[in-house]
Structures are given as C-alpha cells and as structure tokens.
Amino acid sequence: MKHSGAVRLSLTTAIFFLLILSTVKAITDETGTGTTGDIGFQGTIYARQITASASGALETVGLDIHAAAGNMRLAIYSDVGGVPTALLGESASTAIAGTGFQDAAVTGVSIVATAQYWLAFQLDNSGAGPHYDNAAKYEKNQAYGAYPNPLQGSSSSNYSPHMRMTYTAAAPTPIPINIMLNWLKNKDKIWCVLIR
C-alpha cells in the first residue's frame, strides 16, 4: 500500500471532506446541435431520441427556443425498438421566457445510463419555434394539452428539435481508496490518512 499523504484536520473539516465524496452532480445531455430555427410548430407534438450518459433522477427537460411566444409543455417517453412508447413524465404548461434553452420541471423519472429516451415538446403559439437540425424525430398532431400515453405518432427526418435533459447523479467515489480516521489525544482533532 502507498501512503499518499497525511493531513491534520479539524473534525468539522474532515466530515465535510467525507460528505464531498457522496454529493450529487448535475448531468445534462443534449440532442443534436440546433443550428437552424423556425416558427409554426403549434398543434403538433415533436419528439427526439436521446441517450443518457449516466444514471440519476430527472429534474428538467429543456427546449432550445429560436422565437419566444406563448407557452410550452415538455415531456419524456421511453424507447422501445427506436420508437417513443410510454409517457414517463411531463411538465406543466410553462411560459416561454426568452430564446435559448428554456427548461421545465419534469420529476419522478429515474434515468438509466446508456438507455435511450425521447424528449418531446408542444407549443401553444404559432409565433414560437425551436432550433433544430435534420435528424430522425417522431411527431403527432394534437391540440396543446396533456401528452398521450403512448405517443403513437409517425417518424420523419427533418425539423428535429434541439432539446436537453438535466438530472442528478451520485458523484463516484475514487476506487480503490480507504479513509482511515485515527483519533489523536485532542478530542476535536483527527488525522485523515488516504491510503491507495
């Protein structure tokens, strides 16, 4: 075993150090690049596939807005055989506050690393629109409102929205690492020795 170092720390500092190893971090996965923008997406659900880079708890789904107007509803679907299937979660109707990524809370969904999902959006104003590129997407004509479950739309390969999802994942603890806490004579002091 190799001693990488020994540092005399207060008990409070040592506890903080230990907590850092188990904190969570935000993960954001995006679809495509969104190099083009347009308007006129009202009355249709658009969905685009995304692959999770880690596991964690979903917090928000976001849409890259080109033209801001009205409201949006965002959602996430499961993927079965390359098709959006079960509705996993959806946001409330959310005002579009500006251009660029606009996020809405979508919670209660567990994201699994390397799994594929479909992020979806709806707009209630024909003057609003996202950034997009030309890639595979799914769409379904529907008046603005609650998302259907399952989606049961049709596929096409243009106007694929630039979207993202943000979730929290546990920060990995370096392995192998053992933390030995050796109490010294002073009850409020410890030696924190990292042994690799």
Long-range contacts of 28-33 (CB under 8 A, 24+ apart): 28/164, 28/165, 28/166, 29/53, 29/164, 29/165, 30/162, 30/163, 30/164, 31/119, 31/135, 31/160, 31/161, 31/162, 31/163, 31/164, 32/132, 32/133, 32/135, 32/160, 32/162, 33/133, 33/162
Q: Are 107 and 58 in contact (CB under 8 A)?
A: yes
Q: What is the pLDDT of residues 115-139, one digit of tens each?
A: 999 999 999 999 999 999 988 899 9
Tens digits of per-residue pLDDT, 160-171?
A: 999 999 999 865
pLDDT category of residue 158 using cuts at 50, 70 and 90: confident
Residue boundaries of the structural domains of the chain: 3-22+173-195, 24-170
C-alpha distances out from residue 87 to 130, 159, 190, Å: 22, 22, 51
Of 25-34, 44-53, 67-76, 181-190, where does mean pLDDT reach its minimum?
Answer: 181-190
The pLDDT of residue 172 is 58
Domain 24-170: give its CATH code: 2.60.120
The pTM of this model reads: 0.77
Q: How far is 54 from 27, CA to CA, in rounded Å?
A: 7
